[in-house]
Amino acid sequence: MALDCSVDGCGTPRRERGFCIKHHRRWKAHGDPLKVCNIQDPVERFYAKAKRLESGCWEWQGEILANGYGRIAVRQKRELAHRWSYKHHVGPIPDGLVIDHECNNPACVNPDHLRPMTQQENVLRSEIDLAAINARKTECLRGHPFDSANTYINPSTGARNCRACRRVRIAAHNRRRAERLAST
Protein backbone atom coordinates (compact mmCIF):
# COMPACT_ATOMS: atom_id res chain seq x y z
CA MET A 1 0.00 0.00 0.00
CA ALA A 2 1.42 3.39 -1.04
CA LEU A 3 1.82 6.06 1.61
CA ASP A 4 0.06 9.38 1.15
CA CYS A 5 1.71 12.78 0.76
CA SER A 6 2.96 14.18 4.07
CA VAL A 7 0.96 17.40 3.57
CA ASP A 8 -2.16 17.26 5.76
CA GLY A 9 -5.32 16.58 3.79
CA CYS A 10 -3.58 15.89 0.46
CA GLY A 11 -4.25 12.15 0.14
CA THR A 12 -2.20 11.82 -3.07
CA PRO A 13 0.43 9.03 -3.13
CA ARG A 14 3.98 9.99 -2.14
CA ARG A 15 6.54 10.28 -4.93
CA GLU A 16 9.53 12.36 -3.80
CA ARG A 17 10.85 13.10 -0.29
CA GLY A 18 7.50 12.25 1.28
CA PHE A 19 5.53 14.60 -0.99
CA CYS A 20 3.26 14.05 -3.97
CA ILE A 21 4.46 15.52 -7.27
CA LYS A 22 2.58 18.84 -6.82
CA HIS A 23 3.87 19.48 -3.29
CA HIS A 24 7.40 18.33 -4.16
CA ARG A 25 7.53 20.86 -7.03
CA ARG A 26 6.37 23.63 -4.69
CA TRP A 27 8.94 22.58 -2.09
CA LYS A 28 11.73 22.62 -4.75
CA ALA A 29 10.66 25.99 -6.15
CA HIS A 30 9.89 27.86 -2.92
CA GLY A 31 11.23 25.76 -0.04
CA ASP A 32 7.65 25.28 1.17
CA PRO A 33 5.26 22.61 -0.15
CA LEU A 34 2.25 24.85 0.53
CA LYS A 35 3.48 28.01 -1.17
CA VAL A 36 2.06 28.86 -4.57
CA CYS A 37 3.08 31.60 -6.96
CA ASN A 38 0.72 34.49 -6.25
CA ILE A 39 1.84 36.74 -9.08
CA GLN A 40 -0.59 36.00 -11.90
CA ASP A 41 0.28 38.94 -14.18
CA PRO A 42 3.10 37.71 -16.47
CA VAL A 43 4.68 41.17 -16.65
CA GLU A 44 4.88 41.49 -12.85
CA ARG A 45 6.16 37.91 -12.57
CA PHE A 46 8.78 38.63 -15.26
CA TYR A 47 10.14 41.70 -13.45
CA ALA A 48 10.09 39.86 -10.10
CA LYS A 49 12.39 37.20 -11.58
CA ALA A 50 14.73 39.45 -13.62
CA LYS A 51 17.72 40.49 -11.47
CA ARG A 52 19.57 43.53 -12.81
CA LEU A 53 23.35 43.09 -12.73
CA GLU A 54 26.13 45.69 -12.95
CA SER A 55 27.06 44.25 -16.36
CA GLY A 56 23.71 45.46 -17.70
CA CYS A 57 22.30 41.94 -17.94
CA TRP A 58 18.91 41.17 -16.46
CA GLU A 59 19.67 37.66 -15.22
CA TRP A 60 16.70 35.32 -15.01
CA GLN A 61 16.14 34.02 -11.47
CA GLY A 62 13.24 31.70 -12.30
CA GLU A 63 13.47 28.26 -13.88
CA ILE A 64 16.81 27.70 -15.65
CA LEU A 65 17.14 24.89 -18.18
CA ALA A 66 20.22 22.67 -18.51
CA ASN A 67 21.48 24.80 -21.43
CA GLY A 68 21.41 27.95 -19.27
CA TYR A 69 18.29 29.53 -20.77
CA GLY A 70 15.49 30.78 -18.53
CA ARG A 71 11.90 29.67 -18.92
CA ILE A 72 8.66 31.41 -17.94
CA ALA A 73 5.11 30.07 -17.88
CA VAL A 74 2.46 32.36 -19.34
CA ARG A 75 -1.18 31.23 -19.43
CA GLN A 76 -0.28 27.58 -18.80
CA LYS A 77 2.28 27.64 -21.64
CA ARG A 78 6.04 27.54 -21.07
CA GLU A 79 8.27 29.80 -23.14
CA LEU A 80 11.93 30.76 -23.16
CA ALA A 81 12.23 33.87 -20.97
CA HIS A 82 14.48 35.81 -23.39
CA ARG A 83 12.03 35.25 -26.27
CA TRP A 84 9.12 36.40 -24.07
CA SER A 85 11.14 39.49 -23.06
CA TYR A 86 11.92 40.37 -26.67
CA LYS A 87 8.28 39.98 -27.75
CA HIS A 88 7.02 42.01 -24.77
CA HIS A 89 9.53 44.88 -25.01
CA VAL A 90 10.33 45.05 -28.74
CA GLY A 91 7.61 43.23 -30.69
CA PRO A 92 7.10 40.01 -32.62
CA ILE A 93 10.12 37.95 -33.60
CA PRO A 94 10.47 38.17 -37.40
CA ASP A 95 9.74 34.92 -39.25
CA GLY A 96 12.80 32.76 -39.86
CA LEU A 97 14.90 34.51 -37.20
CA VAL A 98 16.07 33.48 -33.74
CA ILE A 99 16.91 35.70 -30.76
CA ASP A 100 20.62 36.01 -30.00
CA HIS A 101 22.21 37.23 -26.76
CA GLU A 102 24.81 39.88 -27.66
CA CYS A 103 26.13 39.54 -24.10
CA ASN A 104 26.63 35.75 -24.55
CA ASN A 105 24.72 35.16 -21.28
CA PRO A 106 21.86 32.71 -22.02
CA ALA A 107 20.11 33.63 -18.74
CA CYS A 108 19.96 37.34 -19.72
CA VAL A 109 16.49 38.71 -20.53
CA ASN A 110 17.46 42.37 -21.07
CA PRO A 111 15.82 43.38 -24.37
CA ASP A 112 18.77 45.71 -25.11
CA HIS A 113 21.02 42.62 -25.22
CA LEU A 114 18.74 40.62 -27.53
CA ARG A 115 18.91 40.75 -31.34
CA PRO A 116 17.00 38.84 -34.01
CA MET A 117 19.22 37.07 -36.54
CA THR A 118 19.32 33.94 -38.65
CA GLN A 119 20.26 30.65 -37.01
CA GLN A 120 23.43 30.57 -39.13
CA GLU A 121 24.51 34.04 -37.95
CA ASN A 122 23.78 33.01 -34.37
CA VAL A 123 25.90 29.85 -34.63
CA LEU A 124 28.77 31.62 -36.40
CA ARG A 125 28.91 34.29 -33.65
CA SER A 126 29.71 31.61 -31.08
CA GLU A 127 33.17 31.47 -29.52
CA ILE A 128 32.85 27.80 -28.53
CA ASP A 129 30.83 26.16 -31.33
CA LEU A 130 33.10 24.07 -33.60
CA ALA A 131 31.17 25.08 -36.73
CA ALA A 132 31.81 28.75 -35.93
CA ILE A 133 35.48 28.14 -35.12
CA ASN A 134 36.00 26.21 -38.36
CA ALA A 135 34.11 28.81 -40.42
CA ARG A 136 36.52 31.54 -39.23
CA LYS A 137 39.60 29.56 -40.32
CA THR A 138 41.41 31.08 -43.30
CA GLU A 139 43.64 28.08 -44.03
CA CYS A 140 43.57 24.28 -43.69
CA LEU A 141 45.61 22.28 -41.16
CA ARG A 142 48.52 22.06 -43.64
CA GLY A 143 48.55 25.82 -44.24
CA HIS A 144 46.83 25.95 -47.65
CA PRO A 145 44.55 28.99 -47.99
CA PHE A 146 40.77 28.68 -47.95
CA ASP A 147 40.21 30.84 -51.03
CA SER A 148 37.90 30.40 -54.03
CA ALA A 149 40.56 28.60 -56.10
CA ASN A 150 41.61 26.12 -53.39
CA THR A 151 38.29 25.45 -51.60
CA TYR A 152 35.82 22.72 -52.54
CA ILE A 153 32.30 23.10 -51.11
CA ASN A 154 30.41 19.81 -50.88
CA PRO A 155 27.01 20.59 -52.47
CA SER A 156 25.08 18.12 -50.32
CA THR A 157 26.54 19.02 -46.90
CA GLY A 158 27.95 22.52 -47.40
CA ALA A 159 31.24 21.36 -45.84
CA ARG A 160 34.40 22.92 -47.23
CA ASN A 161 37.59 21.04 -48.05
CA CYS A 162 41.04 22.10 -49.15
CA ARG A 163 41.49 21.10 -52.82
CA ALA A 164 45.29 20.68 -52.44
CA CYS A 165 44.87 18.30 -49.47
CA ARG A 166 42.05 16.51 -51.29
CA ARG A 167 44.34 15.87 -54.27
CA VAL A 168 47.01 14.44 -51.94
CA ARG A 169 44.40 12.21 -50.21
CA ILE A 170 43.01 10.93 -53.52
CA ALA A 171 46.53 10.25 -54.90
CA ALA A 172 47.45 8.29 -51.74
CA HIS A 173 44.18 6.33 -51.96
CA ASN A 174 44.79 5.50 -55.63
CA ARG A 175 48.38 4.44 -54.87
CA ARG A 176 47.25 2.08 -52.06
CA ARG A 177 44.51 0.69 -54.29
CA ALA A 178 46.97 0.06 -57.16
CA GLU A 179 49.38 -1.70 -54.76
CA ARG A 180 46.55 -3.90 -53.45
CA LEU A 181 45.45 -4.81 -56.98
CA ALA A 182 49.07 -5.53 -58.05
CA SER A 183 49.61 -7.89 -55.11
CA THR A 184 46.57 -10.06 -55.97
Dihedrals phi, psi of 83, to nearest 5 degrees: -70, -40
Within 8 A by CB and 6+ apart from 114, the residues are 82, 85, 86, 90, 99, 100, 101, 102, 108
Residue where a domain stops, chosen among 100, 127, 154: 127
One domain, residues 22 and 44: no
One domain, residues 110 and 162: no
pLDDT for 37 equals 66
> CB pairs under 8 A, 24+ apart, for 48-54?
49/81, 50/85, 50/109, 50/110
Classify residue 71 by its DSSP letter: E
* Angle between helices 81-89 and 42-49 in degrees, nearest 10: 120
One domain, residues 23 and 89: no
One domain, residues 164 and 91: no
pLDDT for 47 equals 94
pLDDT for 79 equals 95
Q: β-strand 151-153 against 160-162: which pairing, if any?
A: antiparallel
pLDDT for 39 equals 62
One domain, residues 81 and 51: yes
One domain, residues 4 and 43: no
pLDDT for 114 equals 97
Q: Do the domain assignments include residue 148?
A: yes
Per-residue pLDDT 10s for the chain (184 aa) are 578 888 888 888 888 888 898 888 888 887 888 877 666 788 988 999 999 999 999 999 999 999 999 999 888 789 999 999 999 999 999 999 999 999 999 999 999 999 999 998 988 888 888 888 888 899 999 999 999 999 999 999 888 999 999 999 999 999 999 999 998 7
Q: Please name the helix (run of DSSP H) or strand (run of DSSP E) that holds residue 70, with its range, or none.
A: strand 70-74
One domain, residues 114 and 84: yes
One domain, residues 25 and 44: no
Q: What is the pTM of this model?
A: 0.60
If one counts the domains in the chain, the total is 3
One domain, residues 142 and 168: yes
Question: 114, 72, 69: which is closest to 91 by C-alpha?
Answer: 114
One domain, residues 18 and 44: no
List % helix, strand, coil for the chain (3-state, nearest 5): 35, 20, 45
Q: Which domain, by its residues, includes 57?
A: 38-127
The amino acid that residue 165 corresponds to is C
Q: Do the domain assignments include residue 94?
A: yes
Q: Do the domain assignments include residue 132?
A: no
Helix ranges (H only) for 31-80 are: 42-49
One domain, residues 47 and 10: no
Q: Do the domain assignments include residue 5?
A: yes
Q: Do the domain assignments include residue 74?
A: yes
Q: Do the domain assignments include residue 107?
A: yes
Q: Do the domain assignments include residue 159?
A: yes
Q: β-strand 114-117 against 63-64: which pairing, if any?
A: unpaired
Q: Do the domain assignments include residue 60?
A: yes
Q: How many CA atoms lie within 13 A of 36 on its CB side?
A: 3
Dihedrals phi, psi of 118, to nearest 5 degrees: -70, 160
One domain, residues 43 and 94: yes
If phi > 0 it is left, if psi is from -120 to 50 it is alpha, else beta; for residue 158 that is left
CATH value at residue 106: 3.90.75.20
